[in-house]
Amino acid sequence: MTDDMLQLGRQTAWPASPEEAVLDRVPNPQADTLYVARFTCPEFTSLCPVTGQPDFAHLVIDYVPDGWLVESKSLKLYLASFRNHGAFHEDCTVAVGRRLHDLLKPHWLRIGGYWYPRGGIPIDVFWQSGAPPKDIWLPDQGVPPYRGRG
């Protein structure tokens, strides 16, 4: 993808759905080095597919890039496209992880979806593409489990 095709640096309309959202990738200038890149989205929203009410999550995406990096503006637009998208927590979390994995073909990727309670039950969803590379430092995702008032 050439720079003139990227969404970065120009006005971009918010995509109406995850399917319409364009994810851009850029070459990894450190492709010869194994390292972890992390994106945190503490205000992810989607809609309950049954009631249409909003659901909220804290997403943490860790990946070990190979030849490509995800461009952060396009990732922001993609994640925001879920705002009017009706899907269960599990579907949203895994769909984000798989789409990034398919686009980037990283050495490894994981996503943690820490969903806020609705109906009294918090749901945390985790997906990864396989075993992480040997000797890579993987920090904790830093999101405490839900404790309620207890």
CA-to-CA separations, 3 to 53, 75, 85, in angstroms, rounded:
38, 16, 29
Active site residue ranges = 48, 55
Q: Which residues are annotated as a binding site?
A: 70-72, 89-90
124 phi/psi in degrees, rounded to 5: -110, 135
Task: Let me know how long the chain is.
Answer: 150
**pLDDT in the model for residue 4:** 59
pLDDT average, residue stretch 132-140? 95
Q: Which residues are annotated as a binding site for substrate?
A: 70-72, 89-90
pLDDT per position as a tens digit, 52-96:
999 999 999 999 999 999 999 999 999 999 999 999 999 999 999
